[in-house]
Amino acid sequence: MKSYFLKLFRYNQWANQRVLLALKQQQVSHEKILSLLGHVAVAERLWLHRIKGLPKPDLKLWSHYTLDELIEMFSAIDMEWIDYLTTNENFDRELSYTNYTGDPFTNNVESIIIHTANHATYHRAQVALLLRQNGYEPVNTDFITFDRVLLGQLKAD
């Protein structure tokens, strides 16, 4: 599972960076687009804090962030996820935590890891739709495109 999780989060990092670069190149400042990406970055941090047994980060799950703030946030959290996955082995364990509103839950860490990556993909798709609806051009963040880049079938951009 470890190699799968590492590939999944390397893809997540690649996709996040592609979206951020596209926003920067097109000078996107659309509040809903930036809010969705902020939500993804904060959720990724929140889930990693839970898994690592750290206190809840002092960040709002839904807030407005500038593009520069998002670039910094994703740069840090994407690397922290990859570092965590690289340096740990035991993902098949139960984790008890409270959700953002304080309700108690228990989930397997493997499920949380998969959820976190899928959550980001879901919201990147919403961002792509909003970009197109607002006259911007979304960027391809398909996993298979990432895999082709890894296999050397496409250039990395």
> Distance between CA 84 and CA 138 in Å, rounded?
30
Contact assessment for residue 61 and residue 39, using Cβ atoms and an 8 Å cutoff: yes
CA 24, 128, 149, 13: dihedral to nearest 10 degrees? Answer: 70
Q: CA distances (Å), 88 to each of 43, 67, 147, in order? A: 20, 31, 24
Cα–Cα distance for residue pair 128/116, rounded to 1 Å: 19
* 106 three-class SS: strand
Q: Is the pLDDT of residue 13 over 80?
A: yes
Strands in the chain per DSSP E? 94-98, 104-108
User: Would you state the pLDDT for residue 152?
Assistant: 87
Q: 146, 15 in Cβ contact below 8 A?
A: yes
**Residue 153: per-residue pLDDT:** 84
Please, are residues 19 and 37 in contact by the beta-carbon 8 Å criterion? yes
Q: Residue 56 pLDDT more than 90?
A: yes
pLDDT in tens, 60-82: 999 999 999 999 999 999 999 99
Q: According to the model, what pLDDT value does residue 154 have? A: 75
For position 111, what pLDDT does the model report?
A: 98
| Segment 84-88 mean pLDDT | 98
Mean pLDDT of the chain: 96
Just give the CATH number of 2-150.
Answer: 1.20.120.450
**pTM to 2 decimal places:** 0.94
